[in-house]
């Protein structure tokens, strides 16, 4: 059964964050809030966790996970940024954007696009997500909590607990955080290309 943690959305309790991070360090899989709906997350190096997320969402091996970071310096260790990308992305983070960029050797080969060697990265603007990431000290391998056959992601912690109780190690409930996924911007061709319009304003790119 998944542990259910009711966490304050603005000032998350350190004890609860510590419990979540302890589960992640023991290769757990969690549902957690972001600035653009709930997501599933596990440690970047947790291969079994990634497979569990694929099973929950019925995803195949071609699905690209997002690496969720606590700060820009951490993001910069995972992807290559030219000057234009650096300035544009730094000004838009934290926020509801996912950026697809060329991966550095820090990213395991199995997580990068097979041909492009690219990966999606983001920095969420949500106190609970950031608290988890800072306490963990490394990126989260993440995927939107959008279940098979559903048009929209789940938005209620109790519902996530009820439906995925035996598939997760923890549900971090911080209240409603919306149901619109991130805006996705692809920088792999040298400039920004908005490939999905979502919660973030696409016009700035």
CATH number at residue 38: 3.90.870.10
CA 50 – CA 39 distance, rounded (Å): 13
pLDDT in tens, 102-151: 999 999 988 988 788 999 999 999 999 999 999 999 999 999 999 998 88
Helices (H), 113-190: 127-136, 157-164
Centre a 10 Å sphere on the Cβ of residue 147 and count the other Cβ atoms it contains.
Answer: 15
Q: Which residues contact 178 (CB under 8 A, 6 or more apart)?
A: 35, 36, 37, 155, 199
State the average pLDDT over residues 23-52: 96
Task: State the chain's mean pLDDT as an integer.
Answer: 95
pLDDT at 62: 81
pLDDT at 154: 85
Overall number of domains in the chain: 1
Q: Determine the structural domain holding residue 92 and report its residue range.
A: 3-204
Instruction: Give ∠ CA 14-17-18 in degrees, rounded to 5.
Output: 85
State the average pLDDT over residues 30-40: 96
Tell me what percent of the residues of the chain surpass a pLDDT of 90.
Answer: 87
């Amino acid at each position: 059964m998944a542990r259910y943690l009711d966490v304050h959305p603005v000032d998350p309790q350190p004890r609860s964050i510590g419990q979540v991070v302890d589960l992640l360090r023991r290769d757990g899989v969690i549902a957690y809030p972001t600035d653009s709906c709930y997501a599933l997350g596990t440690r970047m190096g947790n291969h079994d966790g990634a497979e569990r997320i694929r099973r929950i969402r019925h995803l195949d091996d071609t699905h690209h996970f997002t690496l969720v970071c606590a700060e820009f310096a951490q993001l910069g260790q995972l992807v290559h940024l030219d000057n234009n990308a650096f300035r544009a992305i730094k000004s838009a983070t934290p926020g509801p954007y996912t950026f697809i960029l060329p991966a550095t050797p820090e990213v395991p080969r199995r997580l990068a696009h097979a041909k492009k060697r690219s990966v999606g990265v983001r920095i969420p603007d949500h106190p609970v997500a950031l608290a988890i990431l800072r306490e963990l000290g490394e990126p989260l391998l993440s995927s939107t909590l959008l279940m098979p056959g559903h048009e929209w992601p789940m938005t209620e912690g109790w519902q996530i607990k009820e439906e995925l109780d035996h598939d997760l190690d923890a549900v971090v409930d911080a209240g409603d955080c919306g149901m619109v996924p991130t805006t996705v911007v692809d920088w792999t061709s040298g400039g920004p290309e908005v490939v999905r319009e979502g919660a973030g304003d696409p016009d700035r790119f």
